[in-house]
Structure 1
Amino acid sequence: MQNEITLKLKFKNYEFRRVKYMGGNPIIYTKKEWIGKKALIIPVPLTVTDRWIESHRKEDGTITINIPTDGDIITKKIMPHGRKENPIGRAYVKQEWGGLDCLIIEKPQFITG
């Protein structure tokens, strides 16, 4: 038996982006609405596509999906990139993620007692 990890995710807003290289550094770009937010960046298998994600959207706008993972998830603050009057978001990711598709969702706020 092989060990397996599956993430159950519930969210409304997301971005589905491919990691690109900028000067040898792996980077992921987002829309400007993500600038300043803390995001979870999750590499996904090839079977996960934006169309597949959208097929799970419910009437209330939420999406609930289960995706397999190796547990390699990072949290990053999305920073501005480009011209000041019309920036886009960006975050550097792990070197080995170059070329992978990633799901970007806002980091949930945990309430501690």
Structure 2
Amino acid sequence: MHTSLPDFDMPTEEQVHLAAESFRLLSDPTRIKILWALLQGESSVACLAELADAAPTAVSQHLAKLRLAGLVKGRREGTFVYYTAADEHVRRLLVQGLYHADHIDRDEAPRPARTSHHE
């Protein structure tokens, strides 16, 4: 059926799994704040913690996961590490996600589940 369509293309299993992992990592509000701050320029954990209104230890854990996923890069200077967003792809992902959030029909959108646990 679809395969008979010209130009029909499906991503590979690896592409699907890597994209899903990136979206999973971007599903956390604190990580979105951290990445958005890093898109403005290089920053330290302490500064990111203040901007994201999160504990420095939590920010460090988020950054470790984002770094392993290739979404952020770190640069060591003495005992400090300064982080930046990995590339322009990260900016496009966040801009599109935030743009979409601004254009959701609030009456039709599913409500996020409320949780009582804190990080």
Q: When the two structures are superposed, what TM-score results if normalisation uses the length of structure 1? A: 0.32
Higher relative contact order (CA 8 A, sep 6+): 1
Structure index of larger Rg: 2
Q: Comparing both structures, which one devotes a greater share of its residues to helix?
A: 2
Q: Comparing both structures, which one devotes a greater share of its residues to strand?
A: 1
